[in-house]
């Protein structure tokens, strides 16, 4: 089976500082792949480069197509979507208008279907559709950021720390939704510091340290790896 997303030998720099070195990864169709790693490991940098927000050296193919020369808009049109670390919602706009922004490049009939799909996935957003985004709870804002990214019906959703700052019950809710996305045929590339939750749901995992992947494998194997348990799972409880 050929991969949906392939990154090969990625190098990403901020000026003279190389933040990501020699990173290669694959995401298959209908897979949840996670990248875990500590603060500053380079996870956000990597997602931004895959999306075309940052330049990188190396290869990016998506659905067999070379993405490396495409700008962000064309990558979105190909089916890539990123939910950024800080969600970047428009707080003074309604839930519905924020979602509408995620649909700006698709036809009206398709947008209607997208609204339906997003509201089915997140009934809470439907209840609050007239409410201003800035007045939502943290969990609802994460749902809205994911919903907005889903409006364009992506084939791959990249999530940057979706659990950041959320209470455990809400985190469970968000991760359940990630599982539902896979069931609905959307692949997910999930960046998380919450290694415990990420490894539980993922098919495959990469461990990133200081700009490099130091370990990769099926998520259940990574979850029982001695070093991973010691460094990332030691203080958490199931
Ligand atoms: N705009 C920038 N300019 C210069 N250096 C940056 C910039 N953004 C990030 N870095 C550096 O690049 C490295 C990787 O940062 P990045 O934000 O990708 O890590 P991360 O794994 O996402 O961390 P976190 O878990 O805190 O979100 C860090 O050393 C960071 O200081
Ligand atoms: Mg980050």
3-state secondary structure 107-144: CHHHHHHHHHHHHHHCHHHHHCCCCEHHHCCHHHHHHH
Higher pLDDT, 11 or 152: 11
Residue 231 pLDDT level (bands cut at 50, 70, 90): confident
Q: In terms of residues, how long is the chain?
A: 238
Q: What share of the chain is helix, strand, coil (3-state, %, to 5)?
A: 40, 25, 35
Calculate what percentage of the chain has a pLDDT beyond 90.
Answer: 77
- What H or E segment, with its residue span, contains residue 44? helix 43-51
pLDDT (tens digit per residue) in 170-191? 899 899 999 999 998 999 999 9
Residue 154 pLDDT level (bands cut at 50, 70, 90): very high
Mean pLDDT of 162-166: 91
Mean pLDDT of 4-14: 97
In this structure, the residue with its CA closest to atom 7 of ligand 1 is: 14
pLDDT over threshold 80, residue 33: yes
- Cα within 13 Å of Cα(38), Cβ side: 8
pLDDT over threshold 80, residue 55: yes
* CA 41 to ligand 1 center in whole angstroms: 7
* CA 39 to ligand 2 center in whole angstroms: 7
Mean pLDDT of 107-134: 90
Mean pLDDT of 34-52: 95
pLDDT (tens digit per residue) in 189-206? 999 988 989 999 999 999
User: Quick one: which ligand is closest to 39's CA?
Assistant: 1
User: Quick one: which ligand is closest to 193's CA?
Assistant: 1
Q: What is the mean pLDDT of the chain?
A: 92
Q: Is 37 in the pocket of ligand 1 (CB under 6 A)?
A: yes
- Domains with residue ranges and CATH for the chain: 28-55+68-79+154-238 (3.40.50.300), 91-153 (no CATH)
Q: What was the pLDDT predicted at 1?
A: 55
pTM, two decimals, is 0.94
Q: Is 19 in the pocket of ligand 1 (CB under 6 A)?
A: yes
Which tokens is 81 given?
């979507």
Residue 229: count of CB within 10 angstroms of its CB? 13
């Amino acid at each position: 089976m050929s991969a949906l997303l392939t990154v090969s030998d990625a190098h990403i720099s901020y000026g003279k500082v190389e933040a990501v070195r020699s990173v290669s990864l694959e995401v298959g169709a209908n897979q949840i792949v996670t990248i875990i790693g500590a603060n500053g490991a380079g996870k956000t940098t990597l997602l931004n480069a895959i999306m075309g927000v940052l330049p990188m050296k190396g290869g990016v193919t998506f659905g067999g197509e070379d993405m490396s020369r495409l700008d962000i808009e064309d990558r979105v049109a190909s089916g890539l979507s990123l939910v950024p670390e800080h969600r970047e919602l428009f707080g003074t706009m309604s839930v519905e208008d924020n979602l509408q922004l995620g649909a700006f490049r698709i036809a009206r009939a398709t947008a209607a279907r997208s609204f339906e799909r997003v509201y089915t996935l997140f009934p809470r957003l439907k209840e609050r559709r007239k409410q201003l985004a800035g007045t939502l709870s943290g969990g609802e804002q994460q749902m809205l950021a994911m919903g907005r990214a889903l409006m364009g019906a992506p084939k791959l959703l990249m999530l940057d720390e979706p659990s950041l700052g959320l209470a455990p019950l809400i985190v469970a809710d968000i991760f359940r939704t990630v599982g539902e996305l896979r069931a609905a045929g959307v692949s997910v590339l999930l960046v998380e510091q919450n290694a415990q939750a990420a490894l539980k749901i993922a098919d495959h995992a990469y461990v990133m340290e200081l700009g490099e992947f130091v370990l990769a494998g099926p998520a259940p194997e990574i979850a029982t790896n001695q070093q991973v348990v010691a460094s990332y799972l030691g203080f958490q409880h199931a």
